[in-house]
Homo-oligomer: A and B are copies of this chain.
Amino acid sequence: MITGARAPRTTELAQGDAFARLCADRGLLFGGDYNPEQWPREVWQEDVALMERAGVTFVTVGVFSWSTLEPEPGAREWAWLDEVLDLLHGHGIAVDLATPTASPPPWLGILHPETLPVDRDGVRLAAGSRNQFAPSARAYRDAALRIATDLAERYAAHPAVRMWHVGNEFGQVDYGDEAARAFRAWLREKYGSIAALNEAWDTRVWSQGYRDFDDIVPPRRAPYLLNPAQTLDFHRFTSDELRECFREQRDAIRRAGATQPITTNLMGFFPLVDGWSWAGDLDVIADDQYPDPAVPDSPQKVALVQDLARSLGQGRPWLLMEQAASAVSWRPHNLPKSPARMRLDSLQAIARGADGVCFFQWRQARAGAERFHSAMLPHAGADTDAFRGVERLGADLARLRPVVGSRVDARVAILFDWQGWWAGSEPARPTMRHDTIEQLERWHGALWRRGIATDIVPPGADLSRYEVVLVSHSYVIEDDAADRLRRAAAAGARLVIGPFSGVADAHGAILTGRSPVPLRDLIGASGEEWVGLPDDGVALSFRPGEPVPTTARASILAERLRTDGAEVLATFAEGELAGRPAVTRNDRVWYLAAVVSEDVLAAVLDAALAGVSGAVPDPPQGLEAVRRGDALFLLNHGDAAADIEVPSGSEDLLTGQRTSRRATVAPGEAMVLIERRTT
């Protein structure tokens, strides 16, 4: 039974609507980065011909064109871009026009050495690569703003331009004097007085009391461990400073009269940019996704990233801005995607809420550091399996036009936020083996295998619409976030809380008292110490009557816990903590006092998820099942054919064929079923 999509929320921005209008107009977007300035003019004609053949509707132009547009300071070389935009428009291809500010020309660093970023070791990074800018350097910001403004003024009204792309993969960090200056200003703004900062950073530890904001430097190479509060604020500052770079250019584009949606490409769980704090500034969430084909569970991992992208946009359709057509080149060893896998990955993005699928890049580069990064059109040309795969995908996406604008409805949420991730990743903690993202992937993976749609939400978000809320690892849970969890439980939601959550406050200081301080009433238990576990882990012992997982183990990290009302479902069977509670349940709240093995996690989640249905019941291994609006996506990532029961009389949008009551999805293949009411 396939249910309809949720109605759009009223909170969406006008330009979000612009993105919806674009997709309503053009269907699912399909294309990639297009860098015609790197090729002679004669190639351009072949490009547009092959784009048409492949069904490309949308290309991003100009991402790395700064030195081409402005070969000398103040010069403006527009002619080639005029020609390119006209050519694309003439062939019906929409353009996402990029400000070229991610990679300044070498002359900028020569004329203004302070625009070159300085790393943690004090080394001023050289030109010769890309991204060599210090986000706080005024000379960089001004130069970026000038070229972005001129670009916007020239092309705001060009009919080819249907979207704007500011910079690229914002993620540059600087520890130099320009950063020090801006960091101090940011701290002054945040704390008001140096006394407040000294209090927040607890600078009496290790004699770090500051007289004045001017005494503060970025977290540079130091004799020993840095103050984690300083490092945490520097993370926030860096994300904010990059966002300022984005905002300055976005505002300039708007001032130039542009009405198209404006965005930039995020990078999933990228540590330097706080997605939650950026999301409100983007008219559409655009995300770059490069799962590693060598990793067997990469479909599961990328599903999490896609759920994040959808959640950052509050459920609105998002845009897969970059992916690889086959192999990337930046890993030490790069496995390819087959054309079939490339198609399946692309359909997966659509299934999980994307309204467009784009690639880096259209034509594979001959030279430069990405010469071996695959592209839609490889070095070997169009008479290739790779290009034939691109053509097939283009045709598929055209057939999926009915899903444009529809939503994925989730009844389960997992908490995640960047600030807690940052705070919880600082060194000198019980163990460096406990990784927030790795735990998030494990928990989300359990839902993915069950075909259960999941939203990613930050601590403090409204949880009222969820039946189950999971806290795989939220190192920082402030009072409002704890209240939300309490209210959710009170309203009937089931909660599962993982270990080492609710540990620290917003400055990364540990909450004193029995742990987890803000949640212990909820879980009905409390702990006194977090301890690393021996390398081999320890066995767990389950209460009689509980389903006993086959290899119940805990590893990495555990808590010295005692219950204050909760039931004990499992205890540690050996080691320091032998006999103490490892898994507890307090009515609707499960608590894990350790990192538990997969089967234990599965057993706990099974109990908590009772009654939450997946897109299909019991999907066979490797079959990803997602309902998006009216459509049921079935994606077979496994090696064996998957045979499942489906609503009889559904139509597969990819083939136009009707199914009987059962459908078989071949390995590496997909179906997108729509239940037709009147047939």
Give the contacting residue for A206; candidates B103, B229, B327; CB below 8 A: B103
Distance A128 CA – B222 CA, assembled complex (angstroms):
7
Are the C-beta atoms of B378 and A132 separated by less than 8 Å? Answer: no
In the complex formed, the residue of B with least CB distance to A533 is B335
A–B complex contacts, Cβ < 8 Å, 29 sampled = A35-B205, A64-B204, A66-B207, A67-B207, A72-B211, A103-B207, A105-B208, A106-B209, A125-B221, A126-B220, A128-B217, A128-B219, A128-B227, A131-B223, A132-B222, A172-B223, A206-B368, A206-B369, A227-B367, A329-B428, A332-B432, A334-B532, A335-B533, A336-B531, A336-B576, A372-B510, A373-B428, A379-B512, A380-B514
A676 to B: closest C-beta gap in Å = 37
Q: A204-B37, A205-B38, A531-B327 are in contact. Are A222 and B514 (CB under 8 A)?
A: no
Are the C-beta atoms of A431 and B332 separated by less than 8 Å? Answer: yes
Report chain B residues within 8 Å CB of A130: 206-208, 223-224
Contact with B along A592-621 (1 / 0, CB 8 A): 000000000000000000000000000000
Are the C-beta atoms of A385 and B528 separated by less than 8 Å? Answer: yes
Distance A305 CA – B319 CA, assembled complex (angstroms):
55
Contact with B along A374-403 (1 / 0, CB 8 A): 100011110111100000000000000000
A7 to B: closest C-beta gap in Å = 43
Are the C-beta atoms of A208 and B428 separated by less than 8 Å? Answer: no
Interface membership of A654, Cβ < 8 A: no
A505 to B: closest C-beta gap in Å = 9
Please provide the chain A residues from 176 to 221 with a CB less than 8 Å away from any CB of chain B in the complex: 201-211, 214-221
Are the C-beta atoms of A336 and B532 separated by less than 8 Å? Answer: yes
Are the C-beta atoms of A529 and B336 separated by less than 8 Å? Answer: yes
Are the C-beta atoms of A371 and B428 separated by less than 8 Å? Answer: yes
Report chain B residues within 8 Å CB of A64: 204-207
A391 to B: closest C-beta gap in Å = 15
Q: A294-B534, A367-B508 are in contact. Are A129 and B226 (CB under 8 A)?
A: yes
Please provide the chain A residues from 45 to 60 with a CB less than 8 Å away from any CB of chain B in the complex: none
Report chain B residues within 8 Å CB of A230: 128
- How many copies, total? 3
Distance A35 CA – B207 CA, assembled complex (angstroms):
11
Give the contacting residue for A531; candidates B110, B210, B330, B335; CB below 8 A: B335
Residues of A contacting B: mostly: loop
A103, A211, A526, most chain B CB atoms within 10 A = A211
A439 to B: closest C-beta gap in Å = 16
Interface membership of A243, Cβ < 8 A: no
Contact with B along A218-260 (1 / 0, CB 8 A): 1111111111111000000000000000000000000000000
Interface membership of A366, Cβ < 8 A: yes
A614 to B: closest C-beta gap in Å = 31
Interface membership of A537, Cβ < 8 A: no
Give the contacting residue for A117; candidates B105, B125, B223; CB below 8 A: B223
Report chain B residues within 8 Å CB of A667: none
Are the C-beta atoms of B127 and A380 separated by less than 8 Å? Answer: no
Are the C-beta atoms of B126 and A38 separated by less than 8 Å? Answer: no
Are the C-beta atoms of A123 and B336 separated by less than 8 Å? Answer: no
Distance A457 CA – B204 CA, assembled complex (angstroms):
41
Are the C-beta atoms of A335 and B207 separated by less than 8 Å? Answer: no
